[in-house]
Every structure is written in C-alpha cells, then in structure tokens.
Chains A and B, each alone.
Chain A
Amino acid sequence: MKKPINQQDRRDFLKATAMLAGGAMLSSIPLAGAYASGSDTIKIALIGCGDRGTGAAFQALSTKFNIKLVAMADAFQDRLDSSYQSLSGKFAAKMDVPKERQFVGFDAYLKAIPLADVVLLTTPPGFRPIHFEEAVKQNKQVFMEKPVAVDAPGIRKVLAAAEEAKKKKLNVVVGLQRRYQTNYRESMKRINDGAIGDIMSGQVYWNSGGVWVRPRKANQTEMEYQMRNWYYFNWLCGDHIVEQHVHNIDIANWIKNGHPVSVQGTGSRAWRTGKDYGEIYDNHSIELTYADGAVINSQCRHFEGISNRVDESFQGTKGKIYLSGSNQAIMKDYSGKELYNHNTKGNANPYQTEHDELFDAVSKGEYRFSNVDYAATSTFSAIIGRYATYSGQTIKWDEALASNISLMPERFAWDANPRLMPDEKGLYPIAIPGQAKVI
C-alpha cells in the first residue's frame, strides 16, 4: 500500500511525524504586541456562515472581551445573509461588517482573513486545511471547528501549518468541545492521577438517527449540489465517522494520551442507500489498537428507529469510567464502589468556554492553545477508520499518513466537476471493501 511521495509531501510528512512524536505542553508565554493592554478591539472574521459558524460567532461575541466582527465569508450569499441577520439581531453594536466586507464564493476566505486578528474557521471540514494554512500564513489566531481535514494530504497540510503556528505563537482552539466540558476535564484529571489505573480497553459510540438532507434542486450544478448537501460527500465531510464520531475517538486518544498505531474495521451502506445520500456509509465499526496493546472499539451509525448511543466507556487496571456529552461521568472500581459521579446539572456551556478561554488568552497577549495537535491526531484516527472500513484492510498509522490520495476537486468553481459524479440514475459510486483503494 505504500506509495512514493514527492519532496514537498515528504517534508510535510516528516514534519508531521516529528510533531506528533513531540506532543506539546504549552505554558503561558506572554506575547508582545496587540491586546496586551486589554484596551484594543479584537477584530474577528467568520469564515463559513452556516448555523454552526453563526453559533461560533455568537459565542465569540458573547465573551466579556472587546470584540468586533469585521468580515464574513461564505460560499453562498443566502447563508451569509441569514447569518448576518441573526448576528445583527443580537449583537448590533459588535457588528462592523458593511457590504464591502461580506465576501461570497470559493475564494471569499482569502479576502476576509487579512482583515481580522482572530479568524473563526467553520466551513465544512474539507476546506479546513487550506483555510487554516492561509490563516497561519497571515499570522492570525484561530478558532476552528472539528474535524480539521478529510484525507491524509489535508492532515499533512494542517500539521505543517500547526508547526508554523507554534513558531509564531498563534493560539489555535479547535471545537472538540468535550475538551472544554467540565465532566471530561474533571474525569481526565482523576484518571491522570491514577484513579482507575492504566486504560486497557474502551468502547466509544455515536449511534444516532442521522442528520439533515438537502435534496437536489433544479438548475444546480453538480458542484453546488454537493456543496449544499455536503454531509454526504467525503471531500467535504469525510463521512460521519470523521465529521461526528471524531468527538468520541478524540476521547479515546485523550485517555490513551496518544493515537492508534493501527485500525481495522467494517462498515457499509445497509439502510441509507438512496440518491439523496451521496457516497458515505451509514455504519462503521472499528477497532483502534494503541502502542501499548490497548484496544478501543468504536461504533458509529445513522439508523432510524432503533436504539441510540452516544457516549464513551473505558476500563482500566483498577476501575472503569462512563462518560457522555450530556455532562455525565461515573467512575467506579471493580467492587462497584463509586469513585466519582459528576453532577449533570448547572454545568458551563462548553461551546462558550472554548471562546471564553481563547479570547482571554488573546486579550492578554498570551500564547496558551495549540489544540490542533490533538485535533489533527483524532481527525486522522477517524480518517484511518474510514480507510479501514472502505478497504477492509488493517491500516497502519504511518502508512496512511503518507498517502497521496486527495479527495479535493482539482478546481473550485461552480462549473467544475467534483471527483465523484453521479450515474444516470443519480447514484454515486460507493466504496466496496476489497476493491476500494484508499491510501
């Protein structure tokens, strides 16, 4: 499966490998320059004006700091307009986005990024690598949503930009909000202190009923259709194992303080097979094997009408823990004695905490966050999961990271064709294990 890689890719790959080996513990390093006084306005730009991007902008503007939204960018005029309307309704005094700083199209980000101090990158994940790369190149601090890429070349781009961001001491916060959620933070503290010993196994789940669908409309080019119905196309979404399940896989990596060395699994389109559903699978079940031999199982599926489960369980040498995004954390030893039970009521909103902490650092001129290290690691763990279920092969981390298979279109334009095109019935080619070439 190993393929030759060109010089640029090799450099990125080596950098990436070095970075992952190094890990990163940042201390608060005071930065020279802007905002140190707390009196200057922090200018932000929103790149990706969907409902989540609008939510992120709400959270940024809800912090106690002196922030102004100065630019907005989206591929679509209508998404930008509705976002602008929602934001103006609530934060009129913090909005400074006249028409000339509202940018629409594939290259809108290039125009918006230079105008800000901090950028919010919240488009579909396929664009994250090029947007993040550009933001770092222009010395911007970053909040970006998860996942941070959809394929190996994208991950290498993100890892290379992350190295640059560190050199430049640019704060980067990523929207894996469980890392900012009190039940997870409290649990990880206790686990790091040895409360349940070494983690030997775990089970992480995102089994739900699926997400929205945007059916094809007349007069849409194929590019516009895929951009609108983006969840179902891998160059934009990465499949739900990446887009959604990255949250739970990230908890596995967090608790193991590393990443899987190999992944194998199985998956299919068992149920969601119609033409509205692009190419992604509706179920994946994978096994993540870590360097110390620990194995963590993961399931994610989009099936309607059957049992759901979105949570994480882990077993250590001295006890076990149950965690969920609904603020739950229950830790027990093997005699059944409760070691910790987090109160699910009255917790802070983790989506808000992300921004409170980021802008606290930015306003004080301190360098505290390089979330992109673990975000890229967990994103890539999920991507490898997809490689494993699509191919039916056991996928090794290092080999996968060297892959040159890019999912991105060669040209970003409304009249350009994405790589994957529908047949005459409107159906797309689907990865078949044993036949699909993934790395």
Chain B
Amino acid sequence: MFKKLIAVALIAYPCAQISAQTSSDSYTQSINGTKLKFDMQAIPAGKFKMGSKTGKPDEQPVHEVKLDAFWIGKHEVTWDIFEPFLYRDYEKQASISAIPAEVDAVTRPTKPYFDMTFGMGKEHQPAVAMTQYNAIQFCKWLYVRTGIFYRLPTEAEWEYACKAGTETNYSFGNDAAKLGDYAWYKDNSDNKTHQVGQKKPNTWGLFDMYGNVSEWTYDQYIADFYSQSKDKTVENPVAVPEKLYPNVVRGGSYDETPNNLTSTARLASDPSWKQLDPQIPKSNWWFPEAPFVGMRLVRPVKTPSKAEIDAYYNKQPIKDF
C-alpha cells in the first residue's frame, strides 16, 4: 500500500529536473482584481533528514528526502485573503474590478452557521477551522484569480521549510524555553490565535511555523509512513489522501505544549473536530471544533500540467456522515 501511495505521488507531484532559482525569487503575489496580496518565500531544492530520532514513534525512522524547489507562504493564510473566497458578496466589495466569470464559477464554502473566527478576530489573523477540502478549494480560487498554481505543502515540504537546514528539535535549537520568541503556544497565547508575523521568523524567513495555527499538509496521516523510506533517499514523498480522515496538520497551535510544536511533530485530523456540526451529511467545509487549524500556501517551481492541476483541485469531496 505504501508503494502505491508513493507511486501516485509521483504522478501528482512530477519529479522533473530541478529548476534554478535566483536570489530574487521570493515575491509578493497580488490577487488580481483586488488590493490584496501575500508574500511567498523561495525554498531551494535540496536534501534533508526527515523525522526525529528522539521524537515520537510516528516521526521515525529518520530518512533522507530529496525535494524540488518551491515557494512557501511567508505567513499563514489570513482571513484578509480567505474571506473574499468565502463570501461571494464580500468578494465584490473587496474587488476593484468586475469579478471574472471563471472566478465567480469557483465553488465556494457553505457559509458557516457558526462563527468560525471563534471570537479571535479577522484582521491579519490566521484563517481557521477550514477542512482540507476547503483549503484546497481556496487554492483553486487563487489559481483562477492569479493564474498561478497554489497548493498545500506536502508533509516533507513543510518539514524541510520548517527545519531550514537544522536537525534540532526546533530550527533555533533544542531549548524549548526560547519558543516564546518564535511562537504563540499554550504558555503565551492567552488561548487564542494572534496576528501573523509578530514573532521571529526561522532562518529561511518563515513566520509562525511553530504555533499560532496548525497548518494543513496534503498528506494522509499514516503513523508508520516513514518506515517504507528506511535507509533510502525518497524524492518528493507524499501520502496522497484517499480517505477523509486522518490527514496531517503540522507545526502545532496556540493551544499546544512545546513537545507538540517541534519541526517533526505530526498531528492527525479527527472526525471529532466536526462533532458540533448538527447536520447530515456534515459540512465538507468546516470544523466547528478545530479553531486551531489553519493553512499555508505552496507553489512548486515546476508547474504541473493543466490536467494535473485540474486533477488536484477537482477531486470530489468525500461525504462525511
């Protein structure tokens, strides 16, 4: 089964020759037709040691991973750019030109019956409580708006970007006492999210990789997934999700303790995140009991084919009972 997952992965994430990036590769993406924008940091192609010798069993064995170059969001996605996707009428207000028909045609989330900000606010605050399907549809909306293929990071990409060349528990070393300089977490968050980008970035310029919100990856959570890569160098690994649960979120949140905020800690999504949804079928879009989950964008340097992009965005949601 693991072999199959890797094989599927290679189709979805073509392992093409590594494109060269220049030093000016980090960029600001404007969302066409609006005044909204966000920053993307260039991450070079390379190899790294994935997992942790001292971590939990699902973080082992440590194995070598080789990744193509990509860009990753400097910040977690905020409500500022998520809400025009969520609310079609608000999108009109936030737009400086007419909304193109192809943008209007993108499937939008059902409006959440509950308040999905959980009283934590919107301005520069990370967007939260979206399902993985919702996060991917947001990427599709961005793609239709900008023409650029955005997607979720794979687990490997996320960990590579988080470690930023280090092999310690945190990218700043092993001393959890320093976590407060880099992260909003249980001890300093006052039990809520905070505006992005207020803490120190890692050496690759990425803010809030630890804490604030746990971030969606594309991978299915498989506890012993790394065991198939033992003593190998795997290229662009990903466990393509075939089931609705569990999928992997990374980085820990405002609600987590330091041991769950390491570069390698893996958290699995759970149906209980949706138990406060009283409807059947349950929403494909929202987790009313996961205010701690958010997202960060990735753009691969080698753009996949149109067919691959469509396949990525247009996977039908799995009904949730």
Contact = CB atoms under 8 A, between A and B. Distances in A.
Contacts of B87: 209, 304-305
Contacts of B112: 208-209
Contacts of B281: 51, 54, 86
Interface stretch (A109-117, A221-229, A307-315, A390-398): A307-315
Given A51-B281, A86-B280, A90-B321, A305 B94 contact: yes
Contacts of A210: 111
Given A52-B278, A55-B278, A325 B114 contact: yes
Given A54-B280, A55-B280, A212-B110, A304 B121 contact: no
A104 to B, nearest CB: 19
A317 interface: no
A439 B247 CA distance: 54
Interface residues of A, number: 38
Contacts of B93: 304-305
A58 to B, nearest CB: 5
B231 interface: no
B272 to A, nearest CB: 8
Given A52-B278, A177-B278, A208 B321 contact: no
Contacts of A327: 289
B80 to A, nearest CB: 10
Interface in A319-362: 324-327, 349-352
Contacts of B114: 208, 310, 325-326
A327 B272 CA distance: 13
A89 interface: yes
Contacts, number: 89
B83 interface: yes
B34 interface: no
Q: How many B residues touch the partner, as a band? A: 20 to 34
A55 B279 contact: yes
A211 interface: yes
A349 B115 contact: no
B100 interface: no
B276 interface: yes
Contacts of A309: 115, 119
A207 interface: yes
What DSSP secondary structure best describes chain B's contact surface? loop
A272 B111 CA distance: 14
Interface string A50-72: 01101111100000000000000
B276 A325 contact: yes
Contacts of A207: 115
Nearest to A310: B115
Interface in B225-281: 275-281
Interface in B73-129: 83-84, 86-87, 89-90, 93-94, 110-119, 121-122
Contact of B288 (A58, A86, A311, A326): A326
Contacts of B277: 55
B280 A58 contact: yes
Given A55-B279, A326-B288, A211 B119 contact: no
Task: With a 10 A CB-CB cut-off, give which of A55, A86, A324 has the most chain B CB atoms.
Answer: A55
Interface in A174-218: 175, 177, 206-212
Contacts of A86: 280-281, 321
Contacts of A308: 115-117, 119, 122
B90 A324 contact: no
A306 B117 CA distance: 11
A352 B278 CA distance: 9
Among A244, A305, A326, the most chain B Cβ lie within 10 Å of the Cβ of A305
Given A51-B281, A307-B122, A324-B119, 7 more contacts: A86-B321, A208-B114, A209-B90, A211-B113, A304-B83, A308-B122, A352-B275
7 contacts: A55-B280, A177-B278, A310-B119, A324-B118, A324-B119, A326-B289, A350-B276
Interface of A: 51-52, 54-58, 83, 86, 89-90, 175, 177, 206-212, 244, 272, 304-311, 324-327, 349-352
